[in-house]
Amino acid sequence: MTSHAPVASRLALYARLVRLDRPIGILLLLWPTLWALWIAGDGAPAWPVVAIFIVGTTLMRSAGCAINDYADRDVDPHVERTRDRPLASGRVSGREALLIAGGLSLVSFLLILRLDPLVIELSFVALFLAASYPFTKRFFALPQAYLGIAFGFGIPMGFAALRGEVPPVGWVMLAANIAWTVAYDTEYAMVDRDDDLRIGIRTAAILFGRFDVVAVMACHAVFIVLMAVVGWMARLDAAYFVGLGVAAVLCAWQLRLIRDRSRAGCFRAFLHNNWVGAAVFAGVLAAALT
């Protein structure tokens, strides 16, 4: 029993490194992927493809967390929220983080080998986006937009898997996801703004300054409008727009959480976006069943 303790302890550290204890990131990647799969599959996507994308999304988000912590290994120890992460605290090495990220990415790649060749081509772009995003915070004033592309790349891959192409509706959905990501990740960045200013990290919360709340709500509005365009392009019926309406109300509710810019309120608003994604998916699913 005792001999297994170090192994179990190590695995627990690795699980924390890839944020398995905080699945919100997986969900925020998964919802747009599911929207795409159900629309691309005309409401009945092949279940093996759905399973591949669910597992692949989980693996790639986990790999992205390991790469992110490697990129921020000299920064995280100085940020209140991140200083206790396994890599920042020295309990996991940079080499271990890279090996874990590489291993998870390889398994994810093996999963898609039997899918349409376009999916494989797009997977290389997705890998580049996931690996390079953490470093954009050093020089790009709006890294949240780059994250939106990375987080939404399951959308064109989903269309490619089921249709062998990415139609215009897929790119409009990706644009909508970028706007949504800028909104919720700005809320997330508002939590760390003081620390980020001190250490020189660039974020949307810093870029928008005193207009941060307005910018978040404007991005939510763009997201809702573009997703309405998606519904029109995909010829989805009223059930979809009911779900989108619920998502719009949930986005509007976040104004109450972020208007005083408290750390707790901004973090709650960020977590709240899980329900926004779920509401949109409920609308897509309802439209498929009617």
Using the predicted structure, report yes or no on whether residue 192 has a pLDDT greater than 60: yes
pLDDT band for position 139 (50/70/90)?
confident
Average pLDDT over residues 37-64: 95
Average pLDDT over residues 225-229: 98
**Per-residue pLDDT at 208:** 83
Write 139-146 long-range contacts (CB < 8 A, 24+).
139/202, 140/202, 141/202, 141/207, 142/182, 142/202, 142/204, 142/207, 143/202, 143/203, 143/204, 144/181, 144/182, 144/185, 144/186, 144/189, 144/203, 144/204, 145/178, 145/181, 145/182, 145/204
Q: Which helix (H) or strand (E) holds 290?
A: none
Average pLDDT over residues 209-215: 91
What Cα–Cα distance (Å) separates residue 189 from each residue in 88, 98, 151, 269? Answer: 19, 25, 16, 11
**Per-residue pLDDT at 38:** 97
Average pLDDT over residues 38-49: 96
This model's pTM is above 0.85: yes
**Per-residue pLDDT at 1:** 37
> DSSP string spanning 210-221?
GGHHHHHHHHHH
Using the predicted structure, report yes or no on whether residue 2 has a pLDDT greater than 50: no
Q: Which domain holds residue 227?
A: 2-289
CATH number at residue 158: 1.10.357.140
Contacts of 107 (CB under 8 A, 6+ apart): 59
When divided into structural domains, the chain yields a total of: 1
**Per-residue pLDDT at 5:** 52
**What's the whole-number average pLDDT of the chain?**
91
pLDDT band for position 54 (50/70/90)?
very high
Q: Please, are residues 189 and 174 in contact by the beta-carbon 8 Å criterion?
A: no
Region at 42 (left for phi over 0; alpha for psi -120 to 50; beta for the rest): left
